[in-house]
Structure formats: C-alpha cells, structure tokens
C-alpha cells in the first residue's frame, strides 16, 4: 500500500536523521555508555469505505534502556537473546502538556509534511528532556521504588535487579516475595454497589498462580551471590 509505505519511509528517514537506528523491533540511540534511548512506533490504518480515503495513525512510545539491567535480566530468565528492554517508558502524549495518549493522523491525499513536522518537534521538546532525565539510573530506581506510573510486571522484574546492582540483594528478595503474594492472592476488583444490577466477575486462568517465567526469574535471583558493593 503506497500510502502506508510512504509514511513508514518518511518516518524512518527522519528517525535516522536524528541518529535513531533500527534494532530488531525498536529504534535506539545511545545516550551515554551502556544507556540507550528507545523509541517504538505503533501504527494502525483505517479506510473510510464511503469516501475510499485512508487514515493512518502513528503513536510513539519513549523509553530508556540500561544494558547492565538488561544483561542481568537476560541471565535470570535464561534468554539467549539480549533485548533493549525499556525499564521506564511512556507514550509521548503523557510527556506533553495534554497528558494523554497521543496519535498523529495522516490522511491519504493530504500533505504529510506538517504532521511529521509536529511529531518531530514534540520528540525534540518532550522526548529529549525525558531521555536526559531518565538516563540516571538512580532516578529510575527512585521512580521504580515509588511505583508511580509503573505497572506491576515491570516493577516485579526490574526493581529486584536495581536493588542487586545497588548491593542490596535482600531488598530485592522482599520485592519478589511481595510479587509472589500478590499473584497467589490477587485482590478482587472493587465493584460499585448499583441497585438492581447483576454483577459477574470473570477470573482468568492465571488467577492465584505465579507466572512460571517469574518463578524461574525468582529462583535464579535467589541463587545470585551476595553483591560486594553497589554497581551504580
């Protein structure tokens, strides 16, 4: 499809111009030694059958990857491939004054240049400051520890590693124990009391079971030697 292809080509051209290179499924740019800025673009296409006009939507996920964390995570999971996992990441819209999910809309037959100009101005104005701020692993640790804006699955994986790199394996083990407890005994969601309403709760197959991959992670973490000192 020429419309979608043209958008993707222009996106890649502009990302390369600001030194982002494709690395598997994401784009990366070195911030400093062992610290990498990540950018993931998510796209969707819609065709209006009445007008036969295509609409292409692009959103950007902005993150920071630390190789020391990724290498240890790779060892703990037994993965053969080292990924540039972003320890912290946000949709670009949440870094902007709008503070909500943001997509850029491209309309088939219309000039795409102003849309790209706006997108890359937002990258410069809002993604770059985030990259610079989050390139400090101590700041990432404080963010991860507070849990603000961090989903459980990321905190369960990365906070124990961050504790270990700080020379504190025992605090990491407590995080793992808390994760096991939460997965084994998940809290029921709060259901509003609505008169006359019929409420049904559907529980997935993983309810009350620890994710097997996390069991492997936890076992290997417990087997790590006691760290001598902080590596941060």
Which residues are within 8 A (CB) of 8 and not within 5 positions of it... i.e. 6 or more apart? 43
Query: What is the pLDDT at residue 130?
Result: 98
DSSP 92: G
Which segments of the chain have a pLDDT < 50?
198-206
* Alpha-carbon span 187 to 118, nearest angstrom: 43
H or E element that contains 179:
helix 169-184
C-beta of residue 38 within 8 angstroms of C-beta of residue 84 = yes
Query: What is the pLDDT at residue 200?
Result: 46
H or E element that contains 41:
strand 35-48
Helix axis angle, 212-222 to 152-165, nearest 10°: 10
Query: What is the pLDDT at residue 193?
Result: 56
* Alpha-carbon span 87 to 151, nearest angstrom: 11
Which residues are within 8 A (CB) of 185 and not within 5 positions of it... i.e. 6 or more apart? 208
- Model pTM score: 0.84
Query: What is the pLDDT at residue 231?
Result: 55
SS3 (DSSP) at 120: helix
Query: What is the pLDDT at residue 77?
Result: 92
């Amino acid at each position: 499809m020429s419309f979608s292809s043209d958008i993707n080509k222009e996106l890649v051209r502009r990302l390369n111009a600001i030194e982002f290179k494709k690395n598997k499924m994401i784009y990366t740019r070195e911030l400093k030694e062992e610290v990498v800025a990540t950018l993931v673009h998510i796209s969707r296409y819609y065709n209006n059958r009445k007008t036969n006009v295509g609409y292409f939507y692009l959103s950007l996920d902005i993150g920071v990857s630390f190789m020391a964390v990724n290498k240890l995570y790779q060892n703990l999971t037994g993965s053969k491939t080292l990924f540039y996992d972003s320890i912290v990441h946000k949709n670009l819209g949440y870094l902007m004054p709008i503070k909500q999910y943001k997509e850029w809309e491209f309309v088939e037959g219309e000039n795409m240049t102003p849309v790209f100009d706006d997108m890359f101005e937002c990258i410069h104005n809002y993604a770059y400051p985030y990259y610079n701020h989050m390139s400090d692993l101590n700041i990432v640790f404080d963010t991860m520890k507070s849990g603000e804006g961090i989903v459980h699955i990321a905190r369960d994986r990365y906070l124990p590693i961050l504790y270990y790199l700080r020379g504190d394996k025992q605090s990491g083990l407590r995080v793992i124990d808390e994760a096991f407890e939460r997965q084994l005994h998940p809290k029921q969601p709060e259901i509003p009391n609505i008169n006359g309403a019929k409420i049904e709760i559907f529980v997935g197959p993983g309810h009350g079971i620890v994710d097997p991959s996390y069991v492997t992670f936890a076992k290997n973490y417990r087997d790590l030697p006691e760290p001598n000192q902080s590596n941060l």
